Structure 1
Amino acid sequence: MINFIQEINNYKKISKLSKDRFNRYLNCLYHFCDFLADQLHCNPDEVNLDKIYQLKNGSNIIAYKPIDAGIIDHYLMNQVKNGYSNLESSTLAMKSFFRFLANNRNFPNIVPHMRFKLNDYIPAAKSIRILSRHELLRFLHSLISHSDNLIRDTLLFSLLLTTGCRISEITELKFSDLNFEDEMITLLKTKNKIQRVIVLRKGFGALLRQYQSINELKDNECLFPGKAKSIPITRQFASNIFKKYLILANLPDLRIHSLRHSFATHMRDEGIDLLTLMELLGHQKLQTTLNYTQSYYTRNAHIRIKEHEEFYRKFRSRK
């Protein structure tokens, strides 16, 4: 028998997925098991994937048939109402799990026979609103006026605004990732798992060294520690204080990721070429970089700002 719950437990043992993704997939699989149990009028631990259909001769069961793609289609259609994120996780969980069964239990992989197509439910892309230069000044004024930890918050948002890094890339930093003399950061943990080097604005090396000394932080400790010096602040914590300063500045409610788009747009606005911008952002595809900037027109095309010229020169000199 191919007992669903037992196979989920076996799947747990060999999965190499990241912790967050794996937990999402498990939740989806347990939910699907509950769905099957409801359809079969049995307990979840009694669901056997090779005995989903009963073939009867009168009232006598003469054979069983295994689960097929139609049931998964039916289940996923019921999940559409719960939003695309949930639908995507459910679909990918099915693909991962039934691939596992095919490889480890010689159970037919029915997913390729599904009629349900996830791409049919991809929501229309929403343009991400950025902060204009004037709004950035209002935001920073709000931060300076209301912060309970001015040095930390100023440094955190200055790094986000001047490097274009993802919030996770900044919050995960340790002092051992910094080169104070050359004013560079080595990003070890990135979204695409490719390390890259970020050039800091002039003077940031000395500021970061002073910040480390004031807070008595060791090289193996976090740049932005949370409850313990070895544990960084969370993305949610950073997002909450970002929203706090937006509200106090009477600015629209934005995601903290909009700062990365703001960086990209302002850089493009000042004439930086797309290939350089793509490398700064750590993108692997030029189209991704275009998506960050193409909905904005270029202003001040002939204005040259000294600080940015120095930034570009320093960035190019390391190549």
Structure 2
Amino acid sequence: MGIEIKKGEEKEIIVEFDYTPERVEKIKLIYGRQWHPEEKFWTIPYTKDAVNKLLDIFANEEIVIDSSLNIEVNQTEKQLEKLWMRSFLQEVKDEIKLQNYSSKTCDVYLGHIRRYVEYHAKKPKELKENDVREYLLLLLEKQERSSGYTNQALSAIKFLYNEVLEKERVTVNIPRPKKGRKLPNVLSEEEVAEILSVLKNYKHRAILNLVYSAGLRVSEVVSLKVEDIDSERMLIRVKQGKGKKDRYTLLSEVALKELRRYSKKYRIEEGWLFPGGKEGTYLTERSVQRVFKKACRKAGIKKEVGIHSLRHSFATHLLEKGTDLRYIQKLLGHKNLKTTERYTHVSKKNIEDIKSPLDYLD
């Protein structure tokens, strides 16, 4: 349901819409608005200022106006721009879905494309290669964005021209910003043990034990189903991980024990392993991230780490215990071995056997 505008009592009009916090915040910007809880609708003064304000704040939504009202539907230039942007982004979104990209990539690309178009304030077809270069320089120099962020923006812009507008020549000659090598943040075994030990909630314990013991991404652990846990073969099946690939990874005996305690207490027998608040949904990634951050604070961890650090730690600790790098690559689901090789730079293996030259000066 969009925004419906109907005739009300004298000198007022009725505004109806399905509830969202954003819509409520918007209508509260109109002076003289009033909520009618019994009828479940809003009213605003039937004045030129109030009506124009209403049309402006909801310009990016579908508005249905009662024909008996004397309201001009001629949109202002700003309103038309909002409507155009909405239609344009929907076209991009449809193409991304047709290309079978993940929902996360869809959100990222839409954000970059919207910012790129809004910066130049022109239609994409009017923009040339120099405009793309100017935008990338803005990200790198003025906004001081990382090379990774800028590369992501370039990928989104290339998708826009190559797949949506079919103007490949616009961006094909633009070199990608060189990506700096950043080493992952890794927790020691003692720090991981401390984090896991402070967890009292069965669900939280099961989740973080799984992430560390199997090297899972947070998006992978929240979308696990009961059927993905193979306790006979002691494996976890990760369906449609990054790159939409299936893989198997380790099922730890300790993690399985925590899972059984959790599933018994919460009566989890089928469907999502970690259900969300609404029926048919699973736990959000943000919820797991908050659990991890809270556990770190409670455990006294001072390092700048996130939930993904447990995955980094899984790989590093396996490497330090002599596991072949190619096995670790498969467990993590890395396409390229070079991605896995970065853990050799943070591993203590071999380095701890080297003696500092300072120790020879005695």
Matched, 1:92 2:155: yes
SS class of match (1:109): helix
Tell me what 1:133 maps to: 189
The offset of 1:168, in angstroms, is 1.8
Partner of 1:216: 267
How much does 1:158 deviate?
A: 1.5
Q: Name which of 114, 132, 136 aligns with 1:30.
A: 114
Q: TM-score, normalised by structure 1?
A: 0.71
Q: How many angstroms does 1:180 deviate by?
A: 3.2
State yes or no: 1:13 paired with 2:102: no
Secondary structure of residue in 1 paired with 2:249: strand
1:75 aligns with 2:125: no
- Which residue in the other structure is 1:241 paired with? 291
Gaps of 5+ in 2: 1-80, 353-362
Q: Distance in 1 between matches of 2:351 and 2:119?
A: 58
Q: Which amino acid aligns with 2:177?
A: N
Q: Which amino acid aligns with 1:78?
A: L
Partners in 1 of 2:113 and 2:351 — Cα distance? 53
Matched, 1:277 2:328: yes
Q: Aligned to 2:248, what secondary structure does the other structure show?
A: strand
Corresponding residue SS for 2:296: helix
Superposition deviation, residue 175 in structure 1: 0.6
* Percent of paired sites with the same residue: 25
- Secondary structure of 1:186's partner? strand
Tell me the distance in 2 between the aligned counterparts of 1:14 and 1:234: 26
d(CA) in 2 for partners of 1:79 and 1:202? 47
Q: 1:183 to 1:211 in 2, by over 3 A?
A: farther
In structure 2, relative to structure 1, the CA distance for the partners of 1:251 and 1:13 (3 Å cut) is closer
**Structure 1's 173 and 273: CA in aligned 2 closer, same or farther, altered over 3 A?**
same
Deviates more, 1:291-300 or 1:92-101: 291-300
**Is residue 119 of structure 1 aligned with residue 188 of structure 2?**
no
Q: Distance in 2 between matches of 1:181 and 1:229?
A: 29
Paired with 2:260 and 2:234, the residues of 1 have a C-alpha distance of: 10
Please list the CA deviations of residues 276-305 of structure 1 after superposition, one character each: whole Å capped at 9, or x if unmatched: 22222222322222212333221799xxxx
Alignment of 1:194-273 (within 5 A): 194-202=245-253, 205=256, 208-220=259-271, 222-228=272-278, 230-252=280-302, 253-273=304-324
Instruction: Decide which structure has the larger Cα Rg and report it.
Output: 2
Once the two structures are TM-superposed, the CA of residue 209 in structure 1 deviates from its matched residue by 4.4
* Structure 2 residue 349 is the aligned partner of structure 1 residue 293: no
- Matched to 1:159, the amino acid is L
Per-residue CA shift, 1:171-225, capped at 9, x if unaligned?
11111212233332211131132211223223655653453233122412x2122
Q: Deviations over 1:136-191 (max 9, x none)?
A: 23223332xxx3x2x11221122122212222211111112122333322111311
Local SS of the residue matching 1:296? coil
The alignment covers a number of residue pairs equal to: 263
Tell me the distance in 1 between the aligned counterparts of 2:351 and 2:110.
Answer: 51
Report the residue type matching 2:205 in the other structure: T
Q: Is 1:270–1:300's contact at 8 Å kept on the other side of the alignment?
A: no
Separation (CA, whole Å) in 2 of partners of 1:87 and 1:300: 34
Q: Deviations over 1:42-69 (max 9, x none)?
A: xx6xx473xx5xxxxxxxxxxxxxx421
Task: Tell me if structure 1 keeps the 8 A contact 2:317–2:347.
Answer: no
Give 3-state SS (helix, strand or coil) of 2:253's partner. coil
CA distance in structure 2 between the partners assigned to 1:264 and 1:173 by the alignment: 20
* Residue in structure 2 matched with residue 181 of structure 1 by the alignment: 232
Q: Report the TM-score, using the length of structure 2 for normalisation.
A: 0.63
Question: CA 1:18–1:277 in structure 2 vs 1: closer, same or farther (change >3 Å)?
Answer: closer
Look up the SS of the partner of 1:290 in the other structure.
helix
CA distance in 2, matches of 1:31, 1:130: 34
Stretches of structure 1 lacking an aligned partner (at least 5 in a row) = 38-43, 53-66, 302-319
Give me the CA root mean square deviation: 3.0
Bigger mean CA offset, 247-256 vs 204-213? 204-213
CA distance in 2, matches of 1:212, 1:125: 41
Change in Cα spacing, 1:203 to 1:182, as seen in structure 2 (3 Å) is: farther
Mapped to 1, the partners of 2:351 and 2:159 lie a distance apart of 49
In structure 2, what residue type is equivalent to 1:250?
G
Tell me if structure 1 keeps the 8 A contact 2:316–2:346.
no
CA distance in 1, matches of 2:317, 2:186: 10
One-letter amino acid matched to 1:187? V
